Structure 1
């Protein structure tokens, strides 16, 4: 019997202690996604499970920094081009928020590692939309189930998660 992906990700990246999240919230547990992203086999399995959630699209957009390795593997698996989305546009050079190719007029799916409240995602999706991207869906590795889905939905963005906090804790996908 094989161990579920949720169980393996949980074992690889679940930490306990006191952690300040990007949202500003303090949590007694933390999913250190870099611990699974640094393991090639586990990263590939997570990316494969996320590929299954993709709607029809033209471009993948990996969020700085944790979404980039996942989007890169997903690009290899699907053949879709990838752009890399900065938290804020560069103030020098080209001044782009998304590096790697065009997004104007294209169906873009944003790729993220962990979603908590979705604050950083909302900002980046707004930047992509301002650049002409057609953004309707975000695919993430882990949904912490702390309001991100609802916050994204308020701006007409669907969240599709390969794994959820509840699923990780129980050892099943969702």
Structure 2
């Protein structure tokens, strides 16, 4: 699937019409349901194949953020052969009490993988927590940048951000 075909597939799968109450409390006649493209294996594979060339060569682990980044990082791991870790919003309070599941991240070079970046808040929280645990985090890959300040906020933390699409690319 080429870039234009993938953009159309994402938009067709995820852009819904109707009446939707947004997180802000406002009501909108359209809604972008990112889980619709993430749950379609054909689109998800095409997304991962498109992201793969953007994975930095020195990446040791791909780090997918809970929840939307998990399917993307899993497929990207399968496409690239790089191992993945799954990053929780907060470390669990039982068992191994891990923030990042799947491997010991101390001293490892991680590339963050996220589905959609809006303000960058979830990525910023994850980067701080991962760095506190000794991980080296310098790169963020996302499928869609909603163009609402997230990229600038992440770049302020010395992160290189690569978005497969901007919101305006998807119409």
Q: Provide the TM-score with structure 1 as the length reference.
A: 0.89
**SS at 2:147 equivalent:** coil
The count of aligned residue pairs is 166
Compute the displacement of 1:140 (Å).
0.6
- Aligned match for 1:131, one of 123, 130, 133: 133
Q: Which residue of 2 aligns with 1:149?
A: 151
Q: Which residue of 2 aligns with 1:42?
A: 43
Matches within 5 A, 1:27-38: 28=28, 29-38=30-39
Measured in 2, the distance between the counterparts of 1:121 and 1:26 equals: 24
Measured in 2, the distance between the counterparts of 1:98 and 1:39 equals: 26
Measured in 2, the distance between the counterparts of 1:75 and 1:5 equals: 19
CA-based RMSD of the aligned residues comes to: 1.7
Measured in 2, the distance between the counterparts of 1:155 and 1:61 equals: 17
Compute the displacement of 1:8 (Å).
1.1
**SS at 2:31 equivalent:** strand
**SS at 2:113 equivalent:** strand
* Structure 1 residue ranges (4+ consecutive) displaced by more than 4 angstroms after TM superposition: 24-27
Q: Which residue of 1 aligns with 2:74?
A: 72
Measured in 2, the distance between the counterparts of 1:79 and 1:125 equals: 23
CA deviation map 1:116-167 (0-9, x unaligned): 0010110011111111111011101111111000111111112111111011
Compute the displacement of 1:81 (Å).
0.7
Q: Which residue of 2 aligns with 1:53?
A: 54
Which structure 1 segments of 5+ residues have no match? Answer: 170-174
Task: With a CA cutoff of 8 Å and minimum separation of 6, indicate the structure with the bigger relative contact order.
Answer: 1
